[in-house]
Structure 1
Amino acid sequence: MAIYCRNCGKALNDDARFCSACGAQMYYAPPPLYTGASRLMRPRPGRMIAGVCQGLANSYAWDVVWVRVITVLLAVFGGGSGLLAYIIFWVVMPEEPIALPPPAATYNPPSGS
């Protein structure tokens, strides 16, 4: 897998800790592991209608396409149980909070005399 510097965009080795061009430190976040204890939450990215199927898929490490197919099949052939379950999950599952960028540092020029 190719790794690129977030600061200058130069291609780096997989084991690089610093960029050889600009000196920026590389941050590696390990991939999230499924622990089974994640909280149901409707994510903002990847949603189609309200994010219920995406939230279920993320929480239980399922494929979102299969969750959506099963929901539609239950809505059509299950006497509306899929639609009812979708609406209940829509009301009960909290929405993922908005990720705000960190506040920018302010520049205070030195007061000269």
Structure 2
Amino acid sequence: MAIYCSNCGKAMGDDARFCSACGAQITGVAPAPMPFAQTRMYRPRAGRMVAGVCQGLAVTYHWDVVWVRVLTVLITIFSSGAGLIAYVIFWIVMPEEPYALPPTATTSYPASGGN
């Protein structure tokens, strides 16, 4: 289905948000959904309390880490320790975040002048 600019009448592509001829914003066009990139679950090194399990779950699934921690405590209290067992299992299974490598130096040194 072709979209036409309401300002100048030029035909545009289906994914256009602005007219290429006059620059007018196209109204009534829904923005394209952002792709959700599922990353590998890991225990981050920053922001952790004990082992980083709750922080890792929160980062992976885009949740608030405070609610994940509260839910973990509530599950541990009301399930006779099953939450603690699950936490330990996640601690063992989830890999730790790898260290960030320092940037490589690409500095070229001048050749010695033969002093």
Question: CA 1:89–1:103 in structure 2 vs 1: closer, same or farther (change >3 Å)?
Answer: same
Deviation at 1:107, TM superposition (A): 4.8
Deviation at 1:74, TM superposition (A): 1.2
Question: CA 1:82–1:39 in structure 2 vs 1: closer, same or farther (change >3 Å)?
Answer: same
Name the residue aligned to 1:60: 61
Deviation at 1:105, TM superposition (A): 3.7
Identity of aligned pairs, percent? Answer: 63
Name the residue aligned to 1:42: 43
Cα separation, 2, equivalents of 1:36 and 1:83: 29
Question: Structure 1, unaligned stretches of length 5 or more?
Answer: 1-32
Give 4+ residue runs of structure 1 displaced > 3 Å after superposition: none
SS at match of 1:84: helix
Deviations 1:75-94 (A, max 9, x none): 12211011001000000001
State whether structure 2 residue 87 is matched by structure 1 residue 72: no
Deviations 1:9-49 (A, max 9, x none): xxxxxxxxxxxxxxxxxxxxxxxx67262221111111111
SS at match of 2:49: coil
Which one-letter code corresponds to 2:70 in the other structure? V
Name the residue aligned to 1:86: 87
Q: How many residues align?
A: 81
- Larger deviation: 83-92 or 35-44? 35-44
Cα separation, 2, equivalents of 1:105 and 1:36: 32
Cα separation, 2, equivalents of 1:61 and 1:102: 28
TM-score relative to the length of structure 1: 0.64
Cα separation, 1, equivalents of 2:75 and 2:52: 17
Deviation at 1:110, TM superposition (A): 2.2
Which one-letter code corresponds to 1:87 in the other structure? V
State whether structure 2 residue 113 is matched by structure 1 residue 112: yes
Cα separation, 2, equivalents of 1:112 and 1:76: 73
